[in-house]
Every structure is written in structure tokens, then in C-alpha cells.
């Protein structure tokens, strides 16, 4: 799965705030993501995150 910093991920399951879009802030063994709805930032393991991605939005 080709994910880059700056991409927006559309997730299969929305965040509790209702938004299903997460901005990619940092990439490594963990991804740092920011919810586009509420601005919440969090780290998540790459393997776990990739299973939850519905679509990668590249702009
Ligand atoms: Zn949110």
C-alpha cells in the first residue's frame, strides 16, 4: 500500500466525531494521523492502520 505524508486516508470506520478522513502527518513503523473532523492527533501501528483504510486520497 503506497501511503505518503500529506495523503488523506478515508477509513472504513469513522472516528467518533463522525469524520472518516485522516491526514497522514508522519510515517514509520507507526503512522501519525490527524482526524480531519475534530483535529485529534494519534499514533497507530502501520499494519493495523492499513487494514482499516478504504481509500487513499493523494491531494
Ligand atoms: Zn475526529
The Å distance, Cα 19 to ligand 1 centre, comes to 6
**In this structure, are residues 19 and 9 in contact, taking their beta carbons and an 8 Å threshold?**
no
User: Tell me: the pLDDT tens digits for 26-59?
Assistant: 999 999 999 999 999 999 999 999 999 999 999 7
pTM: 0.92
Measured between alpha carbons, how far is 10 from 14 in angstroms, rounded to an integer? 9
Measured between alpha carbons, how far is 49 from 28 in angstroms, rounded to an integer? 12
Mean pLDDT of 8-31: 97
The Å distance, Cα 38 to ligand 1 centre, comes to 4
**In this structure, are residues 32 and 41 in contact, taking their beta carbons and an 8 Å threshold?**
yes
Judged by DSSP in three states, 51 sits in helix
The Å distance, Cα 2 to ligand 1 centre, comes to 23
Amino acid at each position: 500500500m503506497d501511503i505518503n505524508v500529506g495523503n488523506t486516508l478515508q477509513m472504513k470506520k469513522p472516528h467518533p466525531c463522525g469524520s472518516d478522513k485522516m491526514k497522514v502527518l508522519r510515517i514509520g513503523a507507526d503512522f501519525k494521523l490527524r482526524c480531519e473532523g475534530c483535529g485529534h492527533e494519534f499514533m497507530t501501528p502501520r499494519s493495523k492502520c492499513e487494514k482499516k483504510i478504504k481509500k487513499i486520497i493523494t491531494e
